[in-house]
Amino acid sequence: MSKLALGPSVLDVTTSLGCCQPLGREELSAADAVKIAAMFKALSDPIRLRLFSRIAAQPGGEACVCDIQDVGVSQPTVSHHLRKLREAGLLVSERRASWVYYRVAPGVLAGMAGLLSAAT
Lowest mean pLDDT among 29-43, 90-104, 105-119: 105-119
What does the alpha-carbon distance between residue 85 and residue 76 come to, in Å, rounded to a whole number? 14
Domain ranges, ordered by start, for the chain: 8-118
Q: What is the mean pLDDT of the chain?
A: 80
Helix residue spans in 1-120 (DSSP H): 8-11, 22-25, 30-43, 46-57, 65-68, 75-87, 108-118
Q: What are phi and psi of 100, to 5 degrees?
A: -110, 130
What pTM does this model have?
0.74
DSSP 59: G
- Average pLDDT of span 7-26: 44
Left if phi > 0, otherwise alpha if psi is -120 to 50, otherwise beta: which for 47? alpha
- Average pLDDT of span 91-105: 94
Architecture of domain 8-118: Orthogonal Bundle (1.10)
**Alpha carbon distance, N-terminus to C-terminus of the chain:** 31
Q: Please tell me the predicted confidence (pLDDT) of residue 33.
A: 83
The percentage of residues in the chain with a pLDDT greater than 90, rounded to a whole number, is 46
- pLDDT tens by residue, 29-58: 888 888 888 999 999 999 999 999 999 999
**Listed residue (45, 120, 38) closest to 82, CA to CA:** 45
Q: Please tell me the predicted confidence (pLDDT) of residue 46.
A: 96
Inform me whether the pLDDT recorded for 12 exceeds 60. Answer: no
